[in-house]
Each structure stands twice: as structure tokens, then as C-alpha cells.
Structure 1
Amino acid sequence: MPERYEDYDRVAIVTGADSGIGKACAVALAELDLTRLPEAAAVIDELADRLGGLGVLVNNAGTGLSEPFVDVSWAKWREVLAVDLDGPFLCSQRAARRMRAAGRGGRIINITSVHEHAPRVGSSAYCAAKGGLGLLTKVMAQELSADGITVNAVAPGEIATPMTGQEDVDPFTQHRPGVPVGRPGDAREVAAVVAMLASPAAAYVTGASWAVDGGMLVMGPQASALASDSWRSV
């Protein structure tokens, strides 16, 4: 175990960093097509070699679906599971081996979703993948802690990004009655939590899932569909 956690390499790789949360998180940009697995995960080693090390991996690349469970095709199921679960597994393996060999610890941060914790109608494959990634995060945290590598999840709620159909939308102008904060989130609000977890100050934080959801989880998984503020009254 490293004597001081702050000694880890300050090089970071962010998957899926072309837009939204990933772009806001990015301090190193990787255009990574995680549908081409397992070969695509080799980019982790390639980038680490090019950048001279690896101290932080942010598994952000993701995809989803909105379709009844009984209608989801095998191909679509496998696509979502590949990008949202297989990809982080393979990229994290390579990153962890690199960090362990360097002997200076590091950070792995998995971007999951509030649907790591709560189901949503029409999102069977997405929920299965994010739930799996949440538990994978905890196992990785157990196994890698002796190497000074912390592993945490960040679980966003509705964030104004292209994935939620809100590209170039100011979340502060949108109303969400069912969310306690009353609006969608800004990608930079997710990035701020990622940055904290990637910092030396978070050396004693591992195996946790950090919801960045405006309070959505305390309302239930369908909170964003509520049409009025009537729930606020006793």
C-alpha cells in the first residue's frame, strides 16, 4: 500500500467524454467505442503509455433504452449490457493492473445512475447494467483497497445532457415538480462530485455510491413524472 495516497499519478482517463457528464468530467479525453469489446478496452493501456501513467479512471460511457421488457431484443439487451457493464469491467481491470504495478494507488469512479438503486419502467437492460455496476464497484473497492486504489460510484438523476434529450438546455429554466430541488441537474454538478472523489482529499472514501439527483431517490423512481407540487403540502 502506498505510504501517502496523494502520491498517485495525476493522469486521468474519462470514457465517453464527447458530451454531457463525460465532457464536464474530462481532464483527459478518450473517444472510446465500447461496443467493440473486448478490443476497445486496450485504449486504456495505449493512453496510459502515451500520457505517462494512470492515476484516475472515470467509467462514464453509457447507453440506454426505453422499451417494455417483453419487447427488448437480445441484440439491444447485449448492446446496453456491453457498453454499461462489460466496458467498465474491462477498462477497470486494465486500469487497476496499471495502478497496482505502479504502486502509487489511484482512483476508479464509475458513473452509474439513480437506477443503480431504483427501477424504472421501460429500462430493463439499463437498470440491470447499472445495478450490476453498482455491486461491481463494491467488490472492486474491497479487493483493491490494499493497493491504495479507491473505487466509488456516482449515481446521477436526470441531468440535462444529450442522453436525456436536453442538449443545450439550461436546467435552471426547467421545472420538475416531483424532484425536491425542482429541476434537472447540470453536468457540472456531477463533475464536481467526480472531481472530489478523484482528489487526494477523498482517500478514505471507497465502496460508496454518491447520488447526484436533486433528491429524486427519496421520492421514488417515477418522481420525475409527477405533474404538480401537491406532494409538498401536508
Structure 2
Amino acid sequence: MTFTPTRAIVTGSDSGIGKATAVALAEAGMDVGITWNSDEAGAQDTAEQVRRLGRTAVVERLDLTDVPACGDVVDSLISQLGGVDVFVNNAGTGDNAPFLELTLDQWRHTVTVDLEAAFVCLQRAASHMVDRGQEGRLIAITSVHEHQPRVGSAAYDAAKHGLGGLMKTLALELGSDGITANSVAPGEIATPMTDQDDVDPHGVKRPGVPLGRPGHAREIAAVVAFLASPAASYVTGASWAVDGGMLQMGPQAGSHLTSDDWRTP
């Protein structure tokens, strides 16, 4: 286990899972590149938490709707950090519209942000790793909907399925360069994206989840930190569901539903 990561980039690290992940990687001894789109104050707060841990933090704005330019932001962060050992593609968006009502613009926005921009950012980070002849870790935050669809989320489901497939292909192609590629697929996590900012998930009841509650962003970050560590040196091409057992509920949910309410997004 010679791989010792000291430099990481976490996109969308101004809040939620991204913020928790940036802090977890700093706790593991890494300097961290932080990005934000609309919440600069949140990104600066993340940077301050990283610095309090004795690590360097650099901050850049990343607009994933500007696909060609987002790779340049990754380059800038890598230059400021002096390299990159771990790249976490966390930033993303979602949609909530029935398929027959989903507009082409909505579809393109979600697929652009969640898949096309991810491709550009991951490719740019991987290119730096390969050019420097170093081992590396590529980690994508997908969703349980990488594996199972959700009513009213056609574009999101398609993008997350695609991102999961991309990571598996990267595992095949980059393994000989010592670069691993894995996904982390969260279930419902108490974050601003689920309108549960600063909520203790242990006090929220979710009967349909085996653990009975949503997850905390730190519970996702802990899995990312493991995948970024030397201990995960033989893990690649995997998708880690961190969902309180949600994905195991298919037949049980199907047999215990008592109304058609689930058909409405």
C-alpha cells in the first residue's frame, strides 16, 4: 500500500455531501480543492473547516452548465494544489417531472450537469494522474437511482445510470495506470437537496427504509474517505449503495403498498 493521497478535489463542496466529504478528506490528511456554483459563503465555510484541520484549501466557482469550461476549473484547482490524487465528482442537479411533461430543455439541463460535465471533469483529473504516472482515485457520487428508477425522474435516472456506467468503464481502462474508479450511491440523505438542511436524521421516521431513517452526509463521506484511502487499493468498478437498506426493499415495498400514491411524483 504505497499510495498516500495528499491532494483531493471535491466538486459541489459548499454544502451537504460535498462539504462533509471535503472535511473528511482533510481529516485524512489531504489538501482539498473546493467548488461552488451558487453558494460562495458555503464554500468558504468548508474551506475554513479544512484549514482548521491544518490542511490547505483552494476554492473555485464551477458552473457545470458550461461544459467545456468546467474542465479548465479542474485544471486550475490541480495547479493550485500541485497535483491531484483523489477526484470526487459530487456536484449535480435533479429534475422532478413526469416523462410526458418533461421538456427537452429540462432533460438537457439535467443530463448536461450530471453526466456530460462529469465526463469532462473526470477526464481532466484522470489525464493529470496518467500524465504524472501516479496512482489515483476517481469517485463519483451517483444515487440509489443509478440502480433503481424513480417515478418522475426520467432525466435524473438516465444521467445517474450513465454516470455509473462511465465509472465502470474508467475502472477497466485506467486500472493498468493504478487508478481506481468507484461510485457511491446514496439513498435519502438529510441535506439541502432533500430540504433537510441541519436536520438530525435520527429523529426522522422512514418506515420504508430498513434502518428507519434518512442518512447523514457524514455517513456518505465516510465511505468516500475509505475509497480514497490506501485500504481500498483493490476496489474498483464498484458502486457502493449507502442507503440504509433502501434498495433491498423492492419486493417488500411492492407487496405492502396499499394505494396508488406512489405513481405521483
45-54 or 213-222: bigger deviation: 213-222
Q: Deviation string for 1:31-78 (max 9, x for gaps)?
A: 222111111221111110111111000000011111100111111101
- TM-fit CA distance, 1:30: 1.8
2:80 corresponds in structure 1 to 50
1:19 corresponds in structure 2 to 15
CA contact (8 A) 1:110 1:152 kept: yes
Q: 1:210 to 1:167 in 2, by over 3 A?
A: same
- TM-fit CA distance, 1:5: 4.5
In the TM superposition, 1:60-79 aligns within 5 A as 60-79=90-109
Aligned with residue 3 of structure 2, among 6, 9, 28: 6
In the TM superposition, 1:112-131 aligns within 5 A as 112-131=142-161
Q: In structure 1, give the amino acid aligned to 2:234.
A: Y
1:162 corresponds in structure 2 to 192
Aligned pair 1:211/2:241, yes or no?
yes
Q: 1:37 to 1:222 in 2, by over 3 A?
A: farther
Aligned pair 1:152/2:182, yes or no?
yes
CA distance in 1, matches of 2:134, 2:231: 15
| Corresponding pairs, count | 222
2:52 corresponds in structure 1 to none
Q: Deviation string for 1:95-135 (max 9, x for gaps)?
A: 11100011111000000000000010000000000000011
CA contact (8 A) 2:115 2:160 kept: yes
Q: In structure 1, give the amino acid aligned to 2:3.
A: E
Q: 1:222 to 1:50 in 2, by over 3 A?
A: farther
TM-score (norm 1): 0.91
CA contact (8 A) 2:70 2:120 kept: no
CA contact (8 A) 2:17 2:191 kept: yes
2:56 corresponds in structure 1 to none
Question: What SS is found at the alignment partner of 1:6?
Answer: coil
Q: In structure 1, give the amino acid aligned to 2:104.
A: W
Q: 1:55 to 1:48 in 2, by over 3 A?
A: same
- TM-fit CA distance, 1:227: 8.3
Percentage of pairs with the same residue: 62
Q: CA RMSD in A?
A: 1.7
Q: In structure 1, give the amino acid aligned to 2:139.
A: I
CA contact (8 A) 1:120 1:221 kept: no
Q: In structure 2, give the amino acid aligned to 1:118.
A: Q
TM-score (norm 2): 0.81
- TM-fit CA distance, 1:88: 1.2
CA distance in 1, matches of 2:222, 2:117: 23
Aligned pair 1:36/2:66, yes or no?
yes
Q: 1:24 to 1:179 in 2, by over 3 A?
A: same
- TM-fit CA distance, 1:139: 0.2
2:222 corresponds in structure 1 to 192
- TM-fit CA distance, 1:220: 2.5
Give every structure 1 segment of 4 or more consecutive aligned residues whose post-TM-superposition deviation is greater than 4 Å.
none
Q: Deviation string for 1:168-216 (max 9, x for gaps)?
A: 2110100000000000000000000000000011010000000000000
